[in-house]
Amino acid sequence: MSDHVYKVIELAGSSAKSTDEAIRNAIERASQTLKHLDWFEVVETRGHIDGGKVAHYQVVLKVGFRLEDGK
């Protein structure tokens, strides 16, 4: 196993359906422009309430991606 270096970024995903979908939305969008996404950590969960019901979910993630070798 070789050594790797990771960059960690923070993303916020949202969804009207669920926190799981908010996570998937953030990761799927990030994967369109970033390579080597390897892991994520949920660091914050929040939502919007409308009429006494949950109307929207937002999840903040730390996402790590492996930096390419400079070779």
pTM here is: 0.85
| pLDDT for the residue 71 | 60
Q: What percent of the chain has pLDDT over 90?
A: 86
Q: What's the pLDDT tens digit per position in 41-60?
A: 999 999 999 999 999 999 99
- Give the pLDDT mean for 6-11: 95
Q: Is the pLDDT assigned to residue 17 strictly greater than 70?
A: yes
Measure the CA dihedral 71/4/43/41, to 10°. 110
Average pLDDT over all residues of the chain: 93
Name the CA radius of gyration of the chain, rounded. Answer: 15
- Cβ neighbours of residue 46 closer than 8 Å, sequence gap 6 or more: 57, 58
Tokens representing 32? Answer: 């369109």
